[in-house]
């Protein structure tokens, strides 16, 4: 058990001792000049893992998504996004700020937009309105409590995109969680998108970094956009080295995190104030509504904090995330803390 059971996010994971050793020993060059061998290796590995032509190492998931949208779109265009998506809600408005496109939000069933509804929302080209050019998907879906988007839904959206000549960008920050939970390979999901961003620094426990993968000419332009946004990194091999371990070693253990999230959900569902269906917890993110006769969300988090359990308040509720650095005893401590505070 850790000194503090930190369930705020899977981004709090610390690099493993093996990652720290790999950082110390990494062979490096100057990645902006294109000769850092460890970055080159990571980018090739990322592309191959997703079945794409080329990859780009970026400092964050937000930069990966913003670069992708910038490359796929032009001004006067519109991008279809799911209403609760991270790209739309949590990335400081880069759709408008960087790409100067308008977002068109579509509501969904647990993150899966209905392909017919998406099709109805594609604009008819006209002098009055923006041209729809891109659909953004998210898998797993963070704000839908880590829901896995079914492959069939991807297929339906791909058909719509192809009928209308649109691109699909997948925010796969936690795509390996989706694969671990569903048994569908990351390649199958990636094969239905034109580009994919996935994060090394969340459940996969690397200290920094995300990958953007797609066609070679897309990545060539993405590399220029990354530079323009200040994301060119020099001896970046020290960061790519733990990324390689994340990608080759850490993907296999995500099922453990999912098991712990389910156990945590079973332990707190039904407690006073907690609105949570444990059957809806598919991966490592647990979100529940909170309405208690004598406690606010802030009061609950404060009580948990005093018992050395950290969680996050989100609109109308609370979020807990399992990851490498919380074990079964951390889950037991959290369940006990919830019971003591709420009953």
* Binding site residues, ligand PLP, CB under 6 A: 60-62, 65, 86, 138, 142, 171, 173, 199, 201, 210
How many other CB atoms are there within 10 angstroms of residue 163's CB atom? 10
Both tokens of 1, joined, read 């058990």
Q: Which is nearer to ligand PLP, 177 or 341 (CB)?
A: 177
Could you tell me the smallest distance in angstroms from the CB atom of residue 245 to ligand PLP? 18
Could you tell me the smallest distance in angstroms from the CB atom of residue 329 to ligand PLP? 26
- Going 77 to 81 to 87 to 88, the CA torsion angle's sign is positive
How far is 242 from 15, CA to CA, in rounded Å? Answer: 8
Q: Which is nearer to ligand PLP, 81 or 192 (CB)?
A: 81
Q: Which is nearer to ligand PLP, 2 or 92 (CB)?
A: 92
Q: Which is nearer to ligand PLP, 5 or 210 (CB)?
A: 210
Place of tokens 């490498």: 324
Both tokens of 279, joined, read 């059957």
- The answer to whether 316 touches 289, Cβ cutoff 8 Å, is yes
Residue nearest ligand PLP (C-beta atom): 61
Place of tokens 């406690």: 295
Both tokens of 103, joined, read 């977002």
Could you tell me the smallest distance in angstroms from the CB atom of residue 141 to ligand PLP? 7
Could you tell me the smallest distance in angstroms from the CB atom of residue 265 to ligand PLP? 19
Both tokens of 276, joined, read 């949570």
How far is 198 from 218, CA to CA, in rounded Å? Answer: 16
Relative to beta strand 317-321, strand 312-314 is: antiparallel
Q: Which is nearer to ligand PLP, 99 or 341 (CB)?
A: 99
Could you tell me the smallest distance in angstroms from the CB atom of residue 128 to ligand PLP? 32
Could you tell me the smallest distance in angstroms from the CB atom of residue 205 to ligand PLP? 13
How far is 14 from 204, CA to CA, in rounded Å? Answer: 10
Q: Which is nearer to ligand PLP, 22 or 137 (CB)?
A: 137
């Amino acid at each position: 058990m850790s000194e503090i059971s930190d369930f705020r996010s899977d981004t709090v994971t610390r690099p493993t001792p093996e990652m720290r050793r790999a950082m110390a020993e990494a062979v490096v060059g100057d990645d902006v000049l294109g000769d850092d061998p460890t970055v080159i290796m990571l980018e090739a590995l990322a592309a191959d893992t997703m079945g794409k032509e080329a990859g780009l190492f970026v400092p964050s998931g937000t930069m990966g998504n913003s670069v992708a949208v910038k490359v796929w779109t032009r001004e006067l265009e519109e991008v279809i996004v799911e209403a609760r998506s991270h790209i739309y809600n949590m990335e400081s408005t880069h759709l408008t700020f960087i790409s100067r496109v308008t977002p068109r939000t579509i509501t969904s069933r647990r993150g899966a937009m209905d392909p017919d509804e998406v099709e109805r929302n594609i604009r008819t080209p006209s002098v009055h309105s923006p041209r729809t050019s891109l659909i953004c998907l998210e898998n797993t879906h963070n704000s839908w409590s880590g829901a896995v988007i079914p492959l069939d839904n991807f297929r339906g959206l791909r058909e719509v995109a192809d009928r209308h000549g649109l691109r699909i960008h997948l925010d796969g920050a936690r795509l390996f969680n989706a694969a671990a939970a569903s048994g569908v390979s990351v390649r199958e999901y990636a094969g239905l998108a034109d580009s994919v961003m996935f994060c090394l620094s969340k459940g996969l426990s690397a200290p920094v970094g995300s990958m953007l993968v797609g066609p070679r000419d897309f990545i060539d332009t993405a590399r220029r956009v990354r530079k323009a946004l200040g994301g060119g990194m020099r001896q970046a091999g020290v960061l790519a080295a733990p990324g390689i371990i994340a990608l080759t070693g850490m993907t296999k253990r995500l099922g453990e995190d999912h098991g712990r999230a389910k156990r945590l959900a079973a332990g707190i569902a039904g407690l006073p104030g907690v609105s949570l269906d444990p059957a809806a917890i598919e991966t490592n993110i647990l979100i529940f509504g909170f309405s208690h006769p004598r406690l606010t969300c802030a009061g609950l988090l404060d009580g948990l904090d005093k018992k050395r359990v950290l969680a996050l308040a989100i609109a109308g509720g609370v979020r807990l995330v399992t990851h490498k650095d919380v074990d079964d005893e951390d889950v037991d401590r959290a369940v006990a803390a919830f019971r003591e505070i709420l009953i």
